Amino acid sequence: MAKNMLSKFRVRKGKVFEAPLENAFGRLVTPFEEFIHRQSSSGLLLMACAVIALIIANSPWQEAYKHILHLPVSYNFGEWSLSMSFHHWINDGLMAIFFLLVGLELKREFLVGELSEMKHAVLPIMAAIGGMVVPALIFYALNGGTPSERGWGIPMATDIAFAVGCIAILGNRVPRAVVTFLVALAIVDDLGAILVIAIWYTEKVNMLALMGAFILVAILWLLKFAGVRRSPAYIFVGIVLWYDLYITGVHATLAGVITAMAIPAKPKYDPVAFSTFVKDIIRSFDRCFRPGDKIIANDALRARVTALDNGIHLVQSPLQRMETRLHTPVAFIVVPIFALANAGIPIDSFTSSEAVFNPLTLGVICGLVFGKLIGIVGATWIGWRLGWGDLPKSATFHHIIGVALLGGIGFTMSIFISELAFAGQNEMLIQAKAGVLLASIIAGVSGFLVLRRAPIEESTQGDQASQSDSPTSETKPGQSKAQDGEHGAGEDSVEEHKDGHRKLP
């Protein structure tokens, strides 16, 4: 069907320029694009970077590794100067981009995603809260009253890239609704981690700089209410806010989340208005066209193409465009670099009983593995028994147990909180990171095996098949979701609802 549509597309009227190697290049790019769009890809890359960091940190290159991380990097502008080590630039600067993406995902989920409807949001929210509170209590029970109690926030986090990557490897064995449940749970978990960082892992606050931060936040919201839809304006104010928070003492990466909350989530045009706009532009384009005209030489045609390009941007919300653009660089550049800079710890942290069975490492392991399991399953069961929410479609508590174990993969955010909790305390930092890595391995393998043995219901397979045939299913790069439909995008394809309303396909 797709090939027939493609052949019809190729014989349409008008000329189409194709470079000699264009088709060959397309064949080379397509597998790479498919790799980029697989949810498991970022988790696999993250795992590879963690392994590489461990190898380097226990090799003859370990001194060079430490030297590079501690290299000072400075920015100077006249008398103004900002200097931090390369390691701090990664954790405080580069990770602000990660938090910007997390903030965008949070906002989208609460506006139009799985968390926008209370009946769907109750169980994931309860599961996330249970999966944060119980691990923290277990950690504190083992470390309360000791210098290491400051790390209670470490086992609260879930690494969404690793967790979803493990589920993606299982393919159709896991109902799609279970994946959605895990993603919603992890997003609420991220929100909890952000609040923990902002409230409990903030050093002495500079009140004058904090007042400046409030002014900058007001400017961000003023831009939103003024109808500014260009992302660079928000990014510029966000960068200034990052520097102000850095001076304030509040962790600077929170500037990413604050900026994300101000990004407009509503598009300029709704689908009907956009359809009308496009048709008007095309009619105007046809009126201006004369046989033999080229767009490069016809100002009227070029103006209409520019207007169409602007309209395409305005039918998508700035939040949607920015989130789409950030996914690839964050998943394949920012987070892997963070792993390379923070996962390198001495191998003897894993080989001796003293290294593993100290209260700090044991608290992290027990919190992430057993705390997440008890908290997520327990909270979900309570909410389900009280009738506050329904289990994901085609899911059983066998699936919930598997998801709870995968929730114990705390890699990125847990290591990040470790760096905040034990800054300047190298021994405890290594113990905490060792706990995070061991717990993530245990939780990941256990969760994978549990979900692999979960029952596969017929309804699950039917749902998977129907989703693959539906217009909302994932398409390959370069293939339109509408290619297999019988109707085009013209006026004849407008459908009539039973209630008399019209909608676009």
- Residue 209 domain flag: no
Domain stops at, among 288, 312, 336: 312
Residue 11: the pLDDT is: 47
Whole-structure pTM value: 0.71
| Residue range(s) defining the domain that contains residue 178 | 116-202+344-465
- Is the same domain home to 352 and 428? yes
- Is the same domain home to 299 and 364? no
- CA 65 vs. chain centroid, Å, equals 28
- Is the same domain home to 367 and 449? yes
What mean pLDDT is predicted for residues 442-455? Answer: 90
Q: Which of 66-70, 472-476, 490-494 has the highest mean pLDDT?
A: 66-70
- Is the same domain home to 304 and 349? no
- Residue 438 domain flag: yes
- Residue 181 domain flag: yes
What mean pLDDT is predicted for residues 460-465? Answer: 45
Q: Which of 292-296, 362-366, 413-417 has the highest mean pLDDT?
A: 362-366
DSSP string, 269-289: S-HHHHHHHHHHHHHHHHHH-
Residue 446: the pLDDT is: 94
- Is the same domain home to 434 and 357? yes
- Residue 282 domain flag: yes
Separation of alpha carbons 409 and 171, rounded Å: 19
In the structure, what pLDDT confidence band is assigned to residue 480 with cuts at 50, 70 and 90? Answer: very low
Q: Which of 27-41, 203-217, 317-331, 479-493 has the lowest mean pLDDT?
A: 479-493
Give the model confidence (pLDDT) of 216-247 as tens digits.
999 999 999 998 888 899 999 999 999 998 88
What mean pLDDT is predicted for residues 301-308? Answer: 85
Residue 282: the pLDDT is: 87
Separation of alpha carbons 109 and 146, rounded Å: 39
What mean pLDDT is predicted for residues 248-264? Answer: 87
C-alpha closest to that of 165 among 153, 179, 151, 184: 179
- CATH of residue 126: 1.20.1530.10
- Is the same domain home to 427 and 354? yes
What mean pLDDT is predicted for residues 339-347? Answer: 84
Question: What is the domain count for the chain?
Answer: 2
- Is the same domain home to 348 and 461? yes
The first and second tokens of residue 222, run together, are 């003023």
- Residue 94 domain flag: no
- Is the same domain home to 358 and 431? yes
- Is the same domain home to 282 and 394? no
Q: Which residues neighbour 264 within 8 Å (Cβ) at sequence distance 6 or greater?
A: 224, 229, 317, 318, 319
- Residue 319 domain flag: no
Q: Percent of the chain scored above 90 by pLDDT?
A: 25
- Is the same domain home to 362 and 437? yes
- Is the same domain home to 449 and 357? yes
C-alpha closest to that of 285 among 298, 275, 274: 298
- Residue 244 domain flag: no
Residue 187: the pLDDT is: 82
- Is the same domain home to 350 and 439? yes
Residues 306-342 as b or e (16 or more Cβ within 10 Å = b)? eeeeebeebbbbbbbebbeebbeebbbebbbebbbbb
- Residue 10 domain flag: no
